Amino acid sequence: MRLLLVVIAVLSFAAAASGQYQISQSVVGSGGGMTSGASWELIGTVGQPAIGVVTGVSYTNEIGFWYQPGWILTGVPESGEPFPTVFSLEQNQPNPFNPVTTLRFSVPEQSRVTIRLYNVMGREVRTLVDEDLEAGHHTMTLSGEGLPSGVYFCRMEAAGFSQTRKLILLK
């Protein structure tokens, strides 16, 4: 019930505020200010924390962050994926695989990274990565060509970090 009341309040606010898309330049520009209409009031700068207030005969609605749809105020482009903050080795996809699989891993700072493939006996089968890598998200393809069907372990090591994932090759 509480969620329904919140949704109704937001919709009421949106309906009442929808007619006020002409916000004065003093509010949009740096420094902000106050602007208002017959049933609404905006205090602050568009895109900054603010309180928008819509009042009616029997209600007052407030919203804590004001923006104008379609505006990009900062000029900072959005990236598709957030920058990594920790080392990680994700589970390969698909798993089980035949004949190829994708490995994804994250490096939060430039580091020496090694990724090795081991068989169930613990013997190294392949070195997949052994180089200095820039910070970021990385992807590589592993081919099962020349390997027999079975269980393998992929181990990533970098800057004191170590993580192992189990891979299954089915031919």
Domain with CATH 2.60.40.1930 in the chain: 88-169
The whole-number pLDDT of residue 84 equals 87
How many Å apart are CA 104 and CA 113, to the nearest integer? 13
The whole-number pLDDT of residue 115 equals 97
The segment with the largest mean pLDDT, out of 18-22, 81-85, 141-145, is 141-145
Q: Which amino acid is at 5?
A: L
Q: What is the DSSP letter of 65?
A: E
CB-based burial label for 137 (10 Å; 0-12, 13-18, 19+): middle
Q: What are the strands of the beta sheet with 40-44, ordered from one edge?
A: 33-36, 40-44, 49-55, 60-65
Mean pLDDT on 125-140: 95
Q: Which amino acid is at 150?
A: G
> Of 93, 87, 107, which is closest to residue 163 (Cα–Cα)?
87
Mean pLDDT on 51-80: 52
Fold adopted by 88-169 = Immunoglobulin-like (2.60.40)
pTM recorded for the entire structure? 0.54
How many Å apart are CA 33 and CA 142, to the nearest integer? 57
- Cβ neighbours around 27 below 10 Å, total: 20
Q: How far is CA 49 from CA 26, 126, 161, in A?
A: 16, 53, 39
Query: Per mean pLDDT, which range of 71-75, 88-92, 129-133 is the poorest?
Result: 71-75
Q: What is the DSSP letter of 19?
A: T
